[in-house]
Amino acid sequence: MKGFGNRLWSAALGIVLTVAGLLADGTDRAAHRQIAELEAKLAANPTNAAVLIQLAKVHHNEATRGAEDAAHHIARAKAHLGILLANDPKHAFGRALLGSTTVLTAREAFWPGTKIKRVREGLALMDAALADFPEDHNARFTRAVNNLYLPDLFERLVTVTADFQWLRERADRGEFDAEFRQYVFLYHGRALAKWKRPAEAATAWNAGLAIDPQSKVADELRRELGTAKPASPSP
């Protein structure tokens, strides 16, 4: 019975990690074009930190989708982050992204104990990055989104709630660029919907949409609002 429970939990973690990936934005084709463009830039300057972090981010986001080539994208993300952190060990976003990538590797592990270990290793990397650089919004967003869909076993609700509160306060004040603010509203809305607070989720999505109705994030916000319509009143 214990073995069955482990297998069931293992399957659940795999589903959770894949669901998180299905909520990522963009298309495979666009990502492949972006990777090719960034690799061309990296060839000219192999230690360019801005290009390395962008490449790692694109590969990480593709890995979250759970596609057959997820292992390839995880390997590439880790390779780019390895170069970045070798040159700048304190890079907060790089450390957080490595932590999130490490959590994703739990999906590939066979044994439940190995899955749990990898998740905890990834969480430790993200927590350490934010402990050192609590004002890094990219690192905080990475942790919030990654942790949102983890099983309750990892007790991340307090952390996720605090991260989104920190991000929303600053997004409401207009401290980030427009696209990042829209992503904050998009994912905070998803968090609120997950926590069964649909009215607040819709408010977040509408606020994000109002920032720029023509942006690429706007379509994601509209899709979420399409699922947030109130139920018809009972006759």
In tens, the pLDDT along 165-203 reads 999 999 999 999 999 999 999 999 999 999 999 999 999
- Contacts of the segment 181-185: beta carbons below 8 A, 24+ positions apart: 181/208, 181/211, 182/208, 182/209, 182/211, 182/212, 182/215, 182/217, 182/218, 182/221, 183/25, 183/141, 183/208, 183/217, 184/141, 184/208, 185/209, 185/211, 185/221
- Domain residues for the domain of 188 are 156-228
The verdict on 146 and 166 lying in the same domain is: no
What is the residue-averaged pLDDT of the chain? 87
Q: Give the pTM.
A: 0.84
The CATH number of whichever domain residue 4 belongs to comes to 1.25.40.10
> According to the model, what pLDDT value does residue 227 have?
58
Whether residue 235 lies inside any domain: the answer is: no
Whether residue 141 lies inside any domain: the answer is: yes
Kindly tell me if the per-residue pLDDT of 38 is higher than 70.
yes
> According to the model, what pLDDT value does residue 13 have?
54
> According to the model, what pLDDT value does residue 226 have?
92
List pLDDT tens digits, range 70-106: 999 999 999 999 999 999 999 999 999 999 999 999 9
The verdict on 39 and 139 lying in the same domain is: yes
Kindly tell me if the per-residue pLDDT of 23 is higher than 90.
no
The verdict on 30 and 124 lying in the same domain is: yes
Q: How many H-runs (helices) and E-runs (strands) does the chain carry? A: 11, 0
Whether residue 224 lies inside any domain: the answer is: yes
The tally of domains found in the chain comes to: 2
> According to the model, what pLDDT value does residue 31 have?
84
Q: Return the exposure string of 115-124: e unless at least 16 CB atoms fall within 10 Å of the residue's CB, then b.
A: bbebbeebbe
